[in-house]
Structure 1
Amino acid sequence: MNTIHVAGGVGVADTAMASYDAALADANLHNYNLVAVSSVVPAEATVTSVDAVPDLGPAGNALTVVEARRTVGPGDEVDFREGGRAGAEDAADKRAPRRRPDVVAGLGWATGPGPGLFYEVTGEDPGSVQERIHAGLDAGADLRDWELTDRRTHVESAPAAADRYTTAVTIAAYGESEPIL
């Protein structure tokens, strides 16, 4: 395992799980059993951003990943004012404009000599997600006292469908898949 591929995808479907599966298909990761790990990049790894992950082995295999995932359903709305969250209400002003949220999932990574870090963020605004990724990478590097000078991000976003579920994913896939049995 020397290469970690980072890809993203967006899916829209009639159920939350089906939209997640479609988003995985958009990134070419839908045929694996994903095994989530925390966010440390091994020292010997190379991280590369791709449009879609190449074939990493047979369908049904286990694949180690770090994942940012966000799903929004037909009933989810947010306050139009900055800072609103899905389903939030402002008791002081019930007449505030409402809108469908964007669906954003981002992954940032920082490397340097030795190991590195991934940081996952989801939200409603790509710019805010980017800012939070950078802040998270800074905090993780400071916590470990690591010099992580090479930094990149991959952010997927889409407007939420009005009457279906929308999922955005950004996934770092570690190396090749492995048999699960």
Structure 2
Amino acid sequence: MNTIHVAGGVGVADTAMASYDAALADANLHNYNLVAVSSVVPAEATVEAVPEAPDLGPAGNRLTVVEARRTIGPGDAVDFRESGRAGAEGAESKRAPRRRPDAVAGLGWATGPGPGLFYEVTGEDPEGVRDRIRAGLDSGADLRDWELPDRETRVETVAAEPDRYATAVVIAAYGESEPIL
């Protein structure tokens, strides 16, 4: 039987691409050429959550994945003066600080007899991401009229750092890598 490994990672660096590469390294998926596919789990596959992906073949190979990825940078901020609670008024709301949001990436999967589904979500709030994953899996199963009772979720969060980029990833890696040439 083929195994799909689900691994996550976070990275912080001086550029967006470097933070993504660091997040991939944290998941041990940085040495592959990732090829994204839609979110169907083949019927003959098993899905296994792992702390980091095992060795899936030589560096430079092609690896089929489903990926949730969120990168935030120095320009990303939430202004609580504009997005604060409803009804906030007066001097208190005018002094409300700006803050950098967290980068949150989540991947959920649902399996049962036959094929299954992955559902990927990104955002700034881990619980909100989890809620949207659950809703997406429910919707996808209903759309296909599939019974998918076995469900799991993996969410990665990284806090912003001043003047740096931060990336969170969760990746489902399908089997072993394959030569690209």
Normalising by structure 2, we get a TM-score of 0.91
Deviation >4 Å, runs of 4+: 81-84, 93-96
Partner of residue 4, structure 1: 4
Partner of residue 158, structure 1: 158
Percent identity among equivalent residues? 84
Does the 8 Å contact 2:10/2:22 carry over to 1?
Answer: yes
Q: Distance in 1 between matches of 2:32 and 2:176?
A: 11
Partner of residue 20, structure 2: 20
Q: Distance in 1 between matches of 2:6 and 2:82?
A: 29
Q: Distance in 2 between matches of 1:106 and 1:83?
A: 24
Unaligned runs of 5+ in 2: 85-92
Partner of residue 140, structure 1: 140
| Structure number having the greater helix percentage | 2
**Residue type at the aligned position of 2:4:** I
* Partner-residue secondary structure (3-state), 1:18: helix
**Residue type at the aligned position of 2:70:** R
1:65-123, Cα deviation, whole Å (9 max, x unpaired)? 00000000011101348978xxxxxxxx7755321101100000000100000000001
Q: Distance in 1 between matches of 2:82 and 2:101?
A: 11
1:115-139, Cα deviation, whole Å (9 max, x unpaired)? 0000000011111100000000000
Q: Distance in 1 between matches of 2:44 and 2:115?
A: 8
Partner of residue 89, structure 1: none
Normalising by structure 1, we get a TM-score of 0.91
Are the structure 2 counterparts of residues 80 and 46 from structure 1 closer, same or farther at C-alpha, using a change threshold of 3 Å?
farther
Q: CA RMSD in A?
A: 1.8
* Partner-residue secondary structure (3-state), 1:176: coil
* Partner-residue secondary structure (3-state), 1:127: helix
Partner of residue 111, structure 1: 111
Are the structure 2 counterparts of residues 174 and 81 from structure 1 closer, same or farther at C-alpha, using a change threshold of 3 Å?
farther
Unaligned runs of 5+ in 1: 85-92
